[in-house]
Amino acid sequence: MDSLLAAVIIGVSLGGQYALLALGFTLIFGILGVVNFAHGGLYVLGGYVAQAAVSKLAIPYPVAVLAAALATGAVGYAFERFVLERRIDDHLATLMLTLGLYLMLSTGILVTFGAESVQFAFPVTGAIRGNGYYIPLENLIVLATCLLAIGAVYLLLFRTDFGRASRALADHRAVATAQGMRPHQLFPLAFALASGLAGLTGALVTPILSLAPHVGDPVLATSFLVVILGGLGSIGGATVAAFLVGLIEAFSGVYLGGSKGALALFIIVLVMLVVRPSGLLGRETRGA
Amino acid sequence: MRFRKAKLFHLPLAILAATIIPAKAAECELKLGVVAVLSGPAAQWGIALRGSAELAAAEANAEGGLKVGADNCRISVVTVDSKYTAEGAAAAANNLVSQGIKIILGPIGSPELTGLKPIAVRNELLVVASSYAKNAIGPQWPLVFHGGPGPSGWADPIIKVAKQKFTIRSVVVVAPNDQGGTDIASVVVDAYSKNGIKAREEYYQRGTTNFAPLVTRILNAQPDAVDLASSPAGDAGIIVKQLRQAGFTGPIGRLGGPGTDEIARVAGGYDVLKNFYWYEPVLIDDKVRKIADDYRRLLNASPPENNLFFQWVAVARILTKAIARAGTIEDTKKIADALRALPVEDEALGKGLWIGQEFFGINQELSFPFGIGLILDGKVQALQRHDAATGK
């Protein structure tokens, strides 16, 4: 196999998944100023909702993916509206509350579904094979869906009143509120959108990898890495950083191996942050 | 009147006796410590370990307690979550020591045992653990025993069977890059090399979710077979799935432990595993199934799902036997002497051996008959029974 081509294909595929995850994470930080520790838990919840919908209710997979996004979005909305909103300006409290949500989600899933991985296969199998490369069809479909979802989020944020209002709140909450933006209405919607994205990613990605209660832990770590590299709160930065991290991970994994590759990824990110502390496209650190 | 006086005289004695006898019985309580991972991806192993101790305790208590010297000791089990980390196991051991516990069953993971051993040495604890670490036991830890052999015991016979079934001239052994992975992978590599198979290691960071880069790297080495060693079942399932997607058609082994059902679930079925071989610690037969029935009867609960439970029940039973034979619940050196002198035999698992001298330098490793699992062309074969590993 041509390793170079393989690494590019793997890197782009990873990048699409990371971008979708990081978008939700950075949206919540950018708009609400909250570091959402429950992001990995919502990813796992999305996976289990889709799996249960397919295996127990015999719902077609695409509908199950949509159901997972809506269900996690609803959880996110309710959590922000009834819990987080009360302490939204207390950064320590929001950290603890989102961490608490994560623990509740992961423990609830563990108790309900057990500790072992459950069977959840992507409905499409097979691969496009060429001279020196192969692309699994499931990866291609997931990448296309991720790119569509990313495009939809951009449209929502840059072409709708909700998006403009959310970005105004992210820029300066006091001024935006004085001009009529309503954080109490917009914050739960933004949290729901971000949670829905995490759930959507979980429903899309867990069938091609694995679904178990603990698979959200590395997702949280990767989301952190991507949004910090991209610039906390920067949507464009997160997208660029996600593909960059995906490519670095793929190239370092293929050419250096699993151990040195992981080390190389963190060294490269470290050097980038030393050179540009605000991240790739971050303008300034939010006053958290 | 004299009769009454005598009765009055005897009354305080009777009250005294009535208070002393239960007090003496209550004194003889054997607290068996269990250091087990009860959270995270390895929780099934810890649940199996805890269940085995609870069953051994319930069996002894159902017969009026464990006969230790002149006393019948009621056994209670105190379990602390070790979280599959060195610091978690160390904290768990310290917790048990603070409760006056001297005998510990577990832990299972290599990092856990590494963290626990200094506390065991400091407090003269008797530990029966089951890590696959290269230094799990040794002459410097005379009170630490091994509940079941690692790959140094059983890898060689399984590789011989795999060689008969498949053409294997080269293999890539894949494992996480921490002690729980490197110790096992290096022993497995040695076992392949001794069988004339060219072997190399590939490691990955624990927490990796997508193994496509690693799979590309493995395929570049063009091995005949891939061995997943101690990669957790969830990781192993993804690696198998991605190897097959990438076009790898050779046999895949897992000389690291049970979990084939979970690997098949993640990979997409036994068809995807195609040609697969693995170590199965216990062969399930009627005698072994009776253990599960006993658990339901005595504890009024479902037994743990993981098959390691059955192996651990045999370990817990032999440990309680040793305590009874030693005639003490305090003197761990005496209990260790009694344990070493006991023949390895279990009503369900059969006759075994004490091994470990050759690999660890100390003969404190329990070895029972085990199973060799095979999947040929996607069809699961009946487990092959193998006599207890000799470690030679």
Model ipTM value = 0.86
- B261/B270 Cα distance (integer angstroms): 9
Q: Which fold has domain B151-280+373-386?
A: Rossmann fold (3.40.50)
CB contact under 8 A, B203 and A254: no
Residue A287 pLDDT greater than 50, yes or no: no
- The CA distances from residue B75 to B28, B50, B100, B124, B316, in Å, are 9, 14, 14, 20, 12
Give domain status of residue A286, yes or no. no
Residue type, B245: Q
Contact present, B345 and B352 (Cβ < 8 Å): yes
- B268/B283 Cα distance (integer angstroms): 25
Residue A182 pLDDT greater than 80, yes or no: yes
Q: How confident is the model over B253-294, as pLDDT tens digits?
A: 999 878 898 899 999 999 999 999 999 999 989 999 999 999
Residue of B nearest to A262 (CA): B205
- B323/B290 Cα distance (integer angstroms): 24
The pTM (predicted TM-score) of the whole model is 0.84
Burial label for B355, CB within 10 Å (0-12, 13-18, 19+), is buried
Residue B368 pLDDT greater than 70, yes or no: yes
Q: Using the Cα atoms of residue B269, residue A18, residue A72 and residue B234 in order, give the sign of their dihedral.
A: positive
Give domain status of residue A18, yes or no. yes
Q: Kindly state whether A94 is in contact with chain B, defined as any CB-CB distance less than 8 angstroms.
A: no
CB contact under 8 A, A259 and B204: yes
Q: Could you tell me the residue ranges of all domains in chain B?
A: 24-148+284-351, 151-280+373-386
The number of folded domains in chain A is 1
Q: How confident is the model over B35-51, as pLDDT tens digits?
A: 999 877 677 789 999 99
Q: How confident is the model over A86-99, as pLDDT tens digits?
A: 998 898 999 999 99
Contact present, A222 and A25 (Cβ < 8 Å): no
B227 sits in which H/E element: strand B225-227
Omega of the bond leading into B281 within 30 degrees of 0 (cis): no
A179 Cβ neighbours under 8 A, 6+ residues apart: A168
Q: How confident is the model over B188-227, as pLDDT tens digits?
A: 999 999 999 999 999 999 888 899 999 999 999 999 999 9
Chain B residue numbers with beta carbons less than 8 Å from the beta carbon of A252 are: 213
What does the pLDDT read at residue A42?
96
Give domain status of residue A135, yes or no. no
- A55/A70 Cα distance (integer angstroms): 18
What does the pLDDT read at residue B3?
44
Q: Which of A24, A12, A34, A9 is nearest to A288 (CA)?
A: A34
Residue B24 pLDDT greater than 70, yes or no: no
- B76/B65 Cα distance (integer angstroms): 10
If pLDDT is split at 50, 70 and 90, which confidence band does A1 have? low
- A7/B213 Cα distance (integer angstroms): 7
Please give the structure tokens belonging to residue B75.
Answer: 């056994």
- B354/B137 Cα distance (integer angstroms): 13
> Of 3.30.505.50, 3.40.50.150, 3.40.50.2300, 3.40.190.10, which CATH number belongs to B24-148+284-351?
3.40.50.2300
Test the A interface: residue of B214, B235, B266 with most A CBs within 10 Å: B266
What does the pLDDT read at residue B131?
87
Residue of A nearest to B264 (CA): A119
Q: Which of A148, A137, A33 is nearest to A88 (CA)?
A: A33
CB contact under 8 A, A259 and B247: no
B273 sits in which H/E element: helix B270-273
Q: Which of A35, A33, A47 is nearest to A97 (CA)?
A: A35
Phi-psi region of A126 (alpha: psi -120 to 50; beta: other; left: phi over 0): left
Q: Kindly state whether A130 is in contact with chain B, defined as any CB-CB distance less than 8 angstroms.
A: no
Chain A residue numbers with beta carbons less than 8 Å from the beta carbon of B200 are: none
Contact present, A31 and A288 (Cβ < 8 Å): no
Give percent of chain A with pLDDT exceeding 70.
Answer: 97
Domain range for A92 is 2-128+140-275
Give domain status of residue A79, yes or no. yes
Residue of B nearest to A1 (CA): B220
Closest Cα in chain B, distance from residue A209 (Å): 6
Q: List the alpha helices (DSSP H) in chain B.
A: 2-27, 43-62, 86-98, 110-122, 151-165, 179-194, 212-220, 233-245, 260-267, 270-273, 286-299, 308-326, 332-341, 357-360
Closest Cα in chain B, distance from residue A253 (Å): 5
Angle between helices A137-159 and A161-171 (to 10 degrees): 80
What does the pLDDT read at residue B41?
67
Q: Which of A216, A212, A208, A221 is nearest to A249 (CA)?
A: A221
Which three-class secondary structure state does DSSP give residue B104? strand
Q: Which of B306, B290, B308 is nearest to B347 (CA)?
A: B290
CB contact under 8 A, A257 and B246: no
Contact present, B273 and B267 (Cβ < 8 Å): yes
Q: List the alpha helices (DSSP H) in A126-209.
A: 137-159, 161-171, 173-178, 183-205
Residue A58 pLDDT greater than 80, yes or no: yes
Residue B1 pLDDT greater than 50, yes or no: no
Window 177-216 of A: residues touching B by CB (8 A cutoff) are: 209-210, 212, 214-215
User: Partners of B128 in the beta sheet?
Assistant: B105, B145
Chain B residue numbers with beta carbons less than 8 Å from the beta carbon of A125 are: 268
Please give the structure tokens belonging to residue B356.
Answer: 């470990």
Residue carrying structure tokens 């929502």: A156
B217: nearest CB among A115, A116, A257? A257
**Candidate from A74-78, B2-6, B46-50, B302-306 with smallest mean pLDDT:** B2-6
Q: Using the Cα atoms of residue A143, residue A144, residue A149 and residue A154 in order, give the sign of their dihedral.
A: positive
Please give the structure tokens belonging to residue B136.
Answer: 């799990």
Please give the structure tokens belonging to residue B137.
Answer: 């036991």
Q: Which of A64, A62, A37, A30 is nearest to A48 (CA)?
A: A64
Contact present, B340 and B363 (Cβ < 8 Å): yes
- Chains A & B: contacts with CB separation below 8 Å: 101
Which three-class secondary structure state does DSSP give residue B197? coil
Contact present, B344 and B366 (Cβ < 8 Å): yes
CATH number of the domain that residue A104 is part of: 1.10.3470
